[in-house]
A = this chain, B = another copy of it.
C-alpha cells in the first residue's frame, strides 16, 4: 500500500504542477529534492511570480524510521517505527478575485520492533479560501468534493465537510479560514471500508482536485481589480498566516519535528498586511465574506 500510494502522489504531483503551469502561462515550478537525515525525503515544487499564481507549492514527501519522541507522545505509543508519505499544496493567486486553495493527501504506517504493521491510516482534504466570495465558486468546489465522496459513502461528504469547517477554524478570530471543503483523518480499516477502499476514496478525492479548482481560476483570473481590493486580499492573507502558525497542527508538527522549514512554510503567502483593528465597510462585499466565514454555510 505504501508503495502504491507513493506512486500515486508522485504522478498526481506531476499532473497538478503541469496543469497549473499551463493555466499560469508564464511561471514554471522550481524543484528541490531534499533528504531527511533520519530516513526519506521529499520533492518540493514551488512556483513564484507567475501571471496567475503569485506563490505556491506542490510538495510530496516520504519519511520513515524511528518514530520521533514528539510523535510518540502525540500518538501515545513508545518505541515504534513509522512510514508517512503525502502530497501538500497551497496556491496563492495574484488576483484577489481568485481564491487560495490548499490540499493534502497522506498515508501513515506504524510498525512494532519486528517490523509488523500495527496501525495504518489515510488522511487529507482540500479547502478553498476566497477573498471575494462568488457563491457559485464555493458551490462548484463543494459539489466536486461531494461527487468524489458520494461514490464511496453518502455520509462522507457531510461528515468531512463539517470536520473541515471545524479544523480550519481561526479560533482567536472567531471565523473560518475560508469556505471549507473536505477534511478527514485516521481513516482506518473497518467492516465496511478496508484499506484498499480507503485508497480508492482518497485517490478519487485527489483526482478531483483539478476539477474542483481550475474552473474557478479560469473563470476569475481575467477579472479586473483595484488596489483597495488587493489590500483586502493581503489583509485576509494575514489571517491565513495566523491560522497556519497558531493553529495548524501540520505546520506546528513540522516545525517541532525538525521538518524541512522551507517546504513547510511554502504555505505562507508572498505579500501580507496587518492593520490595526481593520473592519470592512457595512454592507460591502468584504463584510459579506466575513459574515459567511463566521457562519459556515452548506454549499450543496
Spell out A's residues near B (CB within 8 Å).
30, 32, 46, 48, 55, 57, 172-173, 234, 238, 241-242, 245-246, 252, 255, 261-262, 265-266, 268-277
Contacts and interface: CB of A to CB of B under 8 A. Distances in A.
B276 A273 contact: no
Contact of A274 (B55, B173, B246, B277): B55
B275 A48 contact: yes
A173 B255 CA distance: 9
Given A46-B277, A48-B276, A246-B255, 19 more contacts: A30-B276, A32-B277, A46-B276, A48-B275, A55-B276, A173-B261, A234-B271, A241-B241, A241-B272, A242-B265, A246-B252, A262-B276, A266-B276, A270-B273, A270-B274, A271-B271, A271-B273, A272-B272, A272-B273
Contacts of A274: 55, 265, 268-270, 272
A268 B245 CA distance: 13
Q: How many of these chains are in the complex? A: 2
Most buried by B among A46, A245, A274: A274
Contact of A270 (B30, B32, B261, B275): B275
Contacts of A270: 273-275
Contact of A172 (B32, B172, B261, B271): B261
A154 to B, nearest CB: 38
22 contacts: A30-B276, A32-B277, A46-B277, A48-B276, A55-B274, A55-B276, A173-B261, A238-B268, A241-B241, A241-B272, A242-B245, A242-B265, A245-B245, A246-B246, A246-B252, A265-B274, A268-B274, A269-B274, A271-B272, A271-B273, A272-B272, A272-B273
A17 to B, nearest CB: 14
Contacts of A57: 276
- Which 6 residue pairs across A and B have the least CB separation, nearest first? A245-B245, A268-B274, A172-B255, A46-B276, A262-B277, A272-B272
Nearest to A271: B273
A271 B234 CA distance: 9
